[in-house]
Amino acid sequence: MIDFALNYAKIIPCRFYANYLTYKYNWSYILKNTLKLFFIFLLSFLSTSIFAEKNIQFVINTTKGNIIIETYPEKAPITVKNFESYVNKGFYNDTIFHRVIDGFMIQGGGFTKDMSQKQTDAPIKNEADNGLKNIKYSIAMARTQDPDSASSQFFININDNNFLDFPGQDGAGYCVFGKVIEGQDVVDKIGKLKTRVKNGMGDVPIKTVKINSIKVK
């Protein structure tokens, strides 16, 4: 009887420990919760991928060759939408790079080859505080001294022009909305063109570089 009691006393802790292990290491429970976490992560990833705006690429076809740019609608939604609107209506067809400054930038998107300025849509809000920088081969919006005066004209930096970044020298900066991903050599060729004063405007290339078209790639 005493032996049975002692043996029983030994068995009870063992059973309790076995139950504890079963509870603590319930593999079906762990697997179920792991799968649940996995599906939560997957849904989160898919929703981000679906609703995130994709970068849009454009082909700038010029008389010096093609320049392909990639734009960032998540960073500069107003600016990219504005640029795409001009592209879709064919606004840039037969315009020129009317301002070229070696070591600085090339500017286009507003004048025809006879230096007539095209009528534009209303100006847009400056989004220069989007974190994008005016580094070499980035594309940004040209504007007047009014920070919110950008319309159709753009420029491509041919150097790191950090002084144009937000807040810049005027407290506003110049909005970068994309970068050149192909055709950097074409940009460099345009940037080396000799310029003159024409129709009262300086830095106009002597040899005209026409933008034949800009299209979504």
pLDDT tens digits, residue range 178-198?
Answer: 999 999 999 999 999 999 999
b/e per residue 129-167 (b: at least 16 CB within 10 A) = ebebbbebbbbbbbbeeebeebbbbbbbbbeebeebbbe
| Whole-number pLDDT of residue 40 | 63
Domain region containing 94: 56-216
Low-confidence residues of the chain: pLDDT under 50: 1-18, 20-21, 23, 46-49
Question: Which of 81, 143, 136, 76 lies closest to 109, judged by CA?
Answer: 143
Note whether 186 and 123 are same-domain residues.
yes
| Whole-number pLDDT of residue 26 | 61
Q: How far apart are CA 138 and CA 27, in angstroms?
A: 54
Note whether 47 and 71 are same-domain residues.
no
Note whether 40 and 128 are same-domain residues.
no
Q: How far apart are CA 84 and CA 55, in angstroms?
A: 12
Note whether 100 and 203 are same-domain residues.
yes
* Chain segment 146-161, per-residue pLDDT in tens: 999 999 999 999 999 9
Note whether 176 and 96 are same-domain residues.
yes
Note whether 175 and 75 are same-domain residues.
yes
Q: Kindly state the tokens that stand for 217.
A: 């790639």
Note whether 79 and 139 are same-domain residues.
yes
CATH of the domain at 171: 2.40.100.10
| Whole-number pLDDT of residue 1 | 46
The domain tally of the chain equals: 2
Q: Which of these three, 11, 35, 51, is where a domain ends?
A: 51
Q: Kindly state the tokens that stand for 8.
A: 């029983």
| Whole-number pLDDT of residue 53 | 72
